[in-house]
Chains A and B, each alone.
Chain A
């Protein structure tokens, strides 16, 4: 069982570069979301999706875009990387709104 798979695990970007963080789940979950984890702070919601074709903003969406063309995939795009986006990013999926959330292994992103 793969669960939630994130790639890459580590990434270094230069300011202004763009990139896509990949997230895939094989549990047929409708709900998927992206969080960032910064030192001294709890995980914060960036964007979420309640099903294929449906996405919405979380509490810290600026500088990020998402799409959900399939149930399985939920990529996160950084349009023009900034040092403030240095963080660890986690993708999560869950079957229904209130059920257990399964997290990926995380992507550690450094923007220099």
Chain B
């Protein structure tokens, strides 16, 4: 079982509509939670980073929320655009095996298609 689970696996919405992507994680302890956008054939690009003490963080039309008690996060996309079509990946940063390194634990992503 993945330590970072995302839902839905895929989603199709009409241009201009809003959507919310979900992330549940079991990684513990964790340092921060991140959302990345990955366009097809490209590397992931960071959207937001939240520590356990932050409840919400925005980046333009992207708003991420975090509930550290229930270990849930969501990414809300407002007024979607065709360029939002991509995979959105939830990532939890956690200490790695008694080292100073922070390992990134990746979810499998939600594939979003914004249709005209």
List chain A positions with a Cβ less than 8 A from chain B. Answer: 4, 31, 35, 40-45, 48, 50, 56, 58-59, 90, 92, 97-106
Within 8 A of A (CB), among B9-67: 31-32, 34, 41-46, 49
Which one, B49, B93, B103, B106, contacts A58 given CB within 8 A? B103
The answer on a CB contact under 8 Å between A106 and B32 is no
Given contacts A42-B4, A42-B89, A56-B99, contact A101 B41 (CB under 8 A): no
Given contacts A42-B2, A42-B4, A42-B89, contact A101 B104 (CB under 8 A): yes
Which one, A59, A97, A99, A103, contacts B45 given CB within 8 A? A103
| Shortest beta-carbon distance from B100 to chain A in Å | 6
The answer on a CB contact under 8 Å between B103 and A42 is no
Which one, B93, B96, B104, contacts A43 given CB within 8 A? B104
The answer on a CB contact under 8 Å between A90 and B44 is yes
Which one, B31, B99, B108, contacts A42 given CB within 8 A? B108
Interface size class on chain B is 20 to 34
- Binary CB contact string for chain B from 84 to 113 against chain A (1 if under 8 A, 0 otherwise): 000001000100100111111111110000
Expressed in whole angstroms, the Cα–Cα distance for A58 and B104 within the complex equals 11
The answer on a CB contact under 8 Å between A98 and B104 is no
Residue of B nearest to A103 (CB): B43
Complex A-B: 10 CB contacts under 8 Å? A35-B104, A42-B109, A43-B44, A50-B100, A90-B43, A90-B44, A92-B43, A98-B32, A100-B34, A100-B46
